[in-house]
Structure 1
Amino acid sequence: MSTTQSERLRGLLEPLVLSKELDLEEIEVTPVGRKRVLRIIVDSDEGVLLDACADLSREISDKLDETDAMGPGEYTLEVSSPGADRPLTRHRHYVRATGRLVRAQLREGGDLVARIVGVDDDGLDLEVPGVKGRKPTSRRLAFDEIAKARVEIEFSRKDKKEEEA
């Protein structure tokens, strides 16, 4: 998608998304045969419910029908929340992942798997799981030390209510 089209779509759709108290994370147009797929990824601190995606999809569709932002030709509109394994690229992504286990690829080399216990403007406070029965350790990681990061999916993760009890 050209930068001009991306900027036009963001300028058109971001106020609508923000009015629903959601963040517009990504806009992607992908050619599929003779058609295109327009993917809109939205998120919030509380997550995004399926009904909210459906309602927003209808409103975005109406807004796009009023304009020529998608240009000529057919397209399919998809509105969804980010997947569990999406990359953490913005400060708010790390804040939303507080309490979650993440895998960070470090700029100096190597990977670090740890739980985010705090986030500030400069970096992360982490709890590194203990190995072979050892207790977890604390570690500070500055944002500029991180090359890539994403949430690790945990199948046996305790929820917040269990941890508080």
Structure 2
Amino acid sequence: MVAPASTQRVRDAAEPVVATAGLVLEDVAVARAGKRSVVRLVIDLDEDAVGSLDLDTLADVSRDVGTALDDTDAVAGEYTLEVSTPGTSRPLTEPRHFKRARTRLVRLAMVDGSSAFGRLLAVEGDTLVLGPVDPANGRDTTGDPTRVPLADVARGLVEVELSRVTTDDDSDEEA
């Protein structure tokens, strides 16, 4: 285990670089691996962005963070820098996580033990707006959205969609 002061030095050096790129530093971890340290950063798009962080941007930020770490001697000795995004397996625990998951299928475990499933259409203040989805096939269906107070959610997960199914109304092509 590496001292928290080392982790804070890495955060202090990396955060301005990540922010300058218009991104958010989600997590910092520093661990010993033999004679060297492994520095792991998790970065993400701003909460208002929809979509994914592209690999070119991730590579650019990684290079710039590496330079900042070297310039500030934030890590003693040799280190390996690993920069990644949260990915779909990240539990949705904070309002910004839910905002980043807009347009995605989500499964919510509620505080009362029940669950909810739908397409996250919006986060309005402290309320999630879920569009109706057929749980059997993940297709969007018609109907009124469901509003779920964030305070009622114990945890949320993004459901992976290998290919988003479109309805006839969504397609411009002739059948």
Contact 2:32 2:38 in 1 (8 A): yes
Q: Which of 89, 111, 115 pairs up with 2:115? A: 111
Q: Give the corresponding residue for 1:4.
A: 5
Cα deviation 1:88-119 (Å, max 9, x = unaligned): 23322212211211111211113322211121
Q: Which of 41, 46, 53 pairs up with 1:48? A: 53
Code of the aligned partner of 1:112: A
Q: Distance in 2 between matches of 1:146 and 1:10?
A: 30
Q: Which of 77, 93, 100 pairs up with 2:97? A: 93
Code of the aligned partner of 1:150: L
Per mean C-alpha deviation after superposition, the further-off stretch among 110-119 and 16-25 is 110-119
| Identical aligned residues as a percent | 36
Code of the aligned partner of 2:155: K
Q: Distance in 1 between matches of 2:74 and 2:136?
A: 56
Per mean C-alpha deviation after superposition, the further-off stretch among 146-155 and 27-36 is 27-36
1:136 shift after superposition: 5.0
Q: Distance in 2 between matches of 1:96 and 1:132?
A: 25
Alpha carbons of structure 1 residues 103 and 30: separation in structure 2 relative to 1, 3 Å = farther
Q: Give the corresponding residue for 1:144.
A: 151
Give the structure-1-normalised TM-score: 0.82
Per mean C-alpha deviation after superposition, the further-off stretch among 100-109 and 83-92 is 83-92
1:128 shift after superposition: 3.7
Q: Note if 1:154 corresponds to 2:158.
A: no
Alignment partner of 1:64: what SS? helix
Q: Give the corresponding residue for 1:29.
A: 30
1:129 shift after superposition: 2.6
Alpha carbons of structure 1 residues 135 and 62: separation in structure 2 relative to 1, 3 Å = closer
Contact 1:130 1:136 in 2 (8 A): no
Q: Give the corresponding residue for 1:126.
A: 130
Code of the aligned partner of 1:47: S
Alpha carbons of structure 1 residues 57 and 114: separation in structure 2 relative to 1, 3 Å = same
Q: Distance in 1 between matches of 2:135 and 2:12?
A: 48
Q: Distance in 1 between matches of 2:144 and 2:135?
A: 10
Give the structure-2-normalised TM-score: 0.78
Q: Distance in 2 between matches of 1:35 and 1:110?
A: 46
Q: Distance in 1 between matches of 2:146 and 2:97?
A: 19
Alignment RMSD: 2.6
Code of the aligned partner of 2:44: D
Gaps of 5+ in 1: none
Alpha carbons of structure 1 residues 156 and 49: separation in structure 2 relative to 1, 3 Å = closer
Q: Which of 79, 83, 86 pairs up with 1:79? A: 83
